[in-house]
Amino acid sequence: MEKQTPNTTCNDRLCPFHGQISLRGRNFKGKVIKKFPKRVVIEFDRTIFVQKYERYSKRKTKLHARLPDCLKDEISIGDYIEIAECRPISKMIHFIAIKKINNSEGEKIQ
């Protein structure tokens, strides 16, 4: 998996760049809708096929992701970010924010 190490460093144990945790599984891109200390919530659209009407329906997915200390100043609400799956860190968190993507690129995803 491709890793782009941020310029800053941190002492976060659960940081994929400076800590011990490894990333595996799936990646998602989405818009940050909430920010907490060490955690962000992202939201993105997905389409599902409805057989009865033979059409696609748009649903939203929300995912909680850990925010490493080295990215906490860079990422704020409204930004588009990429998250990667890791082992479950807590009941809700099994993703880590890995990088910010620029907004024009992010709007294409939505």
- Please report whether residue 80 would count as binding Zn ion according to CB under 5 A: no
- The C-alpha atoms of residue 47 and residue 99 are separated, in whole angstroms, by 24
Q: Which member of 32, 40, 65, 70 binds Zn ion (CB under 5 A)? A: 70
- Please report whether residue 18 would count as binding Zn ion according to CB under 5 A: yes
- The C-alpha atoms of residue 31 and residue 49 are separated, in whole angstroms, by 23
| Other beta carbons less than 10 A from residue 33's beta carbon | 13
Task: Considering the complex, state which of residue 72 and residue 94 has its C-beta at the smaller distance from Zn ion.
Answer: 72
- Please report whether residue 10 would count as binding Zn ion according to CB under 5 A: yes
In the complex, what is the shortest distance from the CB of residue 67 to Zn ion, in angstroms, rounded to a whole number? 10
C-alpha distances out from residue 35 to 30, 45, 88, Å? 13, 19, 19
- Please report whether residue 68 would count as binding Zn ion according to CB under 5 A: yes
In the complex, what is the shortest distance from the CB of residue 6 to Zn ion, in angstroms, rounded to a whole number? 7
Q: Which tokens belong to 38?
A: 């060490």
- Please report whether residue 97 would count as binding Zn ion according to CB under 5 A: no
Of the candidates 16, 24, 34, the one whose C-alpha atom is nearest the C-alpha of residue 76 is: 34
3-class DSSP assignment, residue 107 = helix
Task: Considering the complex, state which of residue 32 and residue 98 has its C-beta at the smaller distance from Zn ion.
Answer: 98
Question: Site residues (CB under 5 A) for Zn ion?
Answer: 10, 15, 17-18, 68, 70
